[in-house]
Structure 1
Amino acid sequence: MAKDKPTKLRARMPRGFADRGPGELVPTRAMLETIRRVYELYGFEALETPFIEYTDALGKFLPDQDRPNEGVFSFQDDDEQWLSLRYDLTAPLARHVAENFDKLPKPFRSYRAGWVFRNEKPGPGRFRQFMQFDADTVGAPTVAADAELCMMMADTLEALGIARGDYVIKVNNRKVLDGVLEAIGLGGDENAGRRLTVLRAIDKSDKVGISGVRDLLGEGRWENPEAKSGDFTKGAGLDEGQIEIVLASLDPAAGQAAENDAYRAGKAELDEIREFVNAAGYANRIRIDPSVVRGLEYYTGPVFEAELTFEVKDEKGRPVRFGSVGGGGRYDGLVGRFRGEAVPATGFSIGVSRLASALSYLKQDAAPEFGPVVVVVMDRDQTAHYMGLVGTLRQAGIRAEMYLGNPKNLGNQFKYADRRNSPCVVIQGSDERASGQVQIKDLIEGAKAAAAITDNAEWRESRPAQFACGEDELVAKVRELLDHHGVPHGAALG
Structure 2
Amino acid sequence: MAKDKKNRRPRAETPKGFRDYFGADVTERKAMLDTIAEVYHRYGYDPLETSAVETLEALGKYLPDVDRPHAGVFAWQEEEDGDWLALRYDLTAPLARVAAQFRNDLPFPYRRYAMGPVWRNEKPGPGRFRQFYQCDADTVGSASVAADAEICAMLADTLEAVGIPRGDYIVRVNNRKVLNGVMEVAGILDPADSDKFEHERGIVLRAIDKLDRLGEDGVRALLGEGRTDESGDFTEGAGLSGDQVEVVLSFVNACKSPVTESEDSAECEDCPEAGSWGSLEGTSSNPSQGLVLQRLKQLVVGSAVGNEGVTELMAIADLLAAQGYGPDRIVIDPSVVRGLGYYTGPVYEAELTFEITDEKGRPRQFGSVAGGGRYDDLVKRFTGQEVPATGVSIGVDRLLAALRAKGRAGGTMQGPVIVTVMDRDRMADYQAMVGELRAAGIRAEVYLGNPKNFGNQLKYADRRNSPVAIIQGSDEAERGVVQIKDLVLGAKIAESASLEEWKAQPAQFEAARGDLVAEVRRLLTRDGG
Q: How far, CA to CA, are the matches of 1:186 and 1:35 in structure 2?
A: 41
* Post-superposition offset of 1:234: 4.1
* Contact preservation (8 Å) 1:63, 1:70: no
**How many equivalent pairs are there?**
481
For residue 347 of structure 2, what is the aligned residue in structure 1?
A: 303
Q: Does 1:408 align with 2:410?
A: no
The residue type paired with residue 200 of structure 1 is R
Identity %: 58
Judged with a 3 Å threshold, the aligned counterparts in structure 2 of structure 1 residues 21 and 482 are, in CA distance, closer, same or farther, namely same
For residue 12 of structure 2, what is the aligned residue in structure 1?
A: 11
Q: How far, CA to CA, are the matches of 1:210 and 1:368 in structure 2?
A: 42
1:19-418 matches, within 5 Å, as 19-77=20-78, 78-187=80-189, 188-221=194-227, 223=229, 233-250=235-252, 251-252=254-255, 254=295, 256-258=298-300, 259-283=302-326, 284-313=328-357, 317-363=361-407, 368-418=412-462
**Mean CA deviation greater in 322-331 or 196-205:** 196-205
* Post-superposition offset of 1:295: 0.7
TM value normalised by structure 1? 0.93
The residue type paired with residue 165 of structure 2 is A
For residue 513 of structure 2, what is the aligned residue in structure 1?
A: 471
Summarize deviations over 1:178-230 as a string: whole Å, max 9, x none: 11112222123242221122122222333444444333322344558xxxx96
Judged with a 3 Å threshold, the aligned counterparts in structure 2 of structure 1 residues 102 and 365 are, in CA distance, closer, same or farther, namely closer
* Post-superposition offset of 1:360: 1.3
Judged with a 3 Å threshold, the aligned counterparts in structure 2 of structure 1 residues 238 and 157 are, in CA distance, closer, same or farther, namely same
Judged with a 3 Å threshold, the aligned counterparts in structure 2 of structure 1 residues 146 and 364 are, in CA distance, closer, same or farther, namely closer
TM value normalised by structure 2? 0.87
* Contact preservation (8 Å) 2:24, 2:411: no
Summarize deviations over 1:257-291 as a string: whole Å, max 9, x none: 12211100000000000101111111120100000
Pick one of 480, 486, 489 that aligns with 2:528. Answer: 486
Judged with a 3 Å threshold, the aligned counterparts in structure 2 of structure 1 residues 276 and 3 are, in CA distance, closer, same or farther, namely closer
* Post-superposition offset of 1:171: 0.4
Q: How far, CA to CA, are the matches of 1:244 and 1:366 in structure 2?
A: 45
Q: How far, CA to CA, are the matches of 1:138 and 1:484 in structure 2?
A: 48
Q: How far, CA to CA, are the matches of 1:328 and 1:150 in structure 2?
A: 9
Judged with a 3 Å threshold, the aligned counterparts in structure 2 of structure 1 residues 190 and 454 are, in CA distance, closer, same or farther, namely farther
Q: Any idea what SS the aligned residue of 1:393 has? A: helix
Q: Any idea what SS the aligned residue of 1:213 has? A: helix
Q: How far, CA to CA, are the matches of 2:517 and 2:136 in structure 1?
A: 41
**Mean CA deviation greater in 189-198 or 473-482:** 189-198
For residue 490 of structure 1, what is the aligned residue in structure 2?
A: none
For structure 1, which runs of at least 5 residues remain unmatched after alignment?
488-494
Judged with a 3 Å threshold, the aligned counterparts in structure 2 of structure 1 residues 208 and 4 are, in CA distance, closer, same or farther, namely closer
- Coordinate RMSD, CA, aligned: 2.1
* Contact preservation (8 Å) 1:441, 1:465: yes
**Mean CA deviation greater in 27-36 or 208-217:** 208-217
* Contact preservation (8 Å) 2:417, 2:443: yes
Pick one of 458, 463, 483 that aligns with 1:419. Answer: 463
The residue type paired with residue 325 of structure 2 is Y
* Post-superposition offset of 1:240: 2.1
* Post-superposition offset of 1:73: 1.1
For structure 2, which runs of at least 5 residues remain unmatched after alignment?
256-290
1:442-453 matches, within 5 Å, as 442-453=486-497
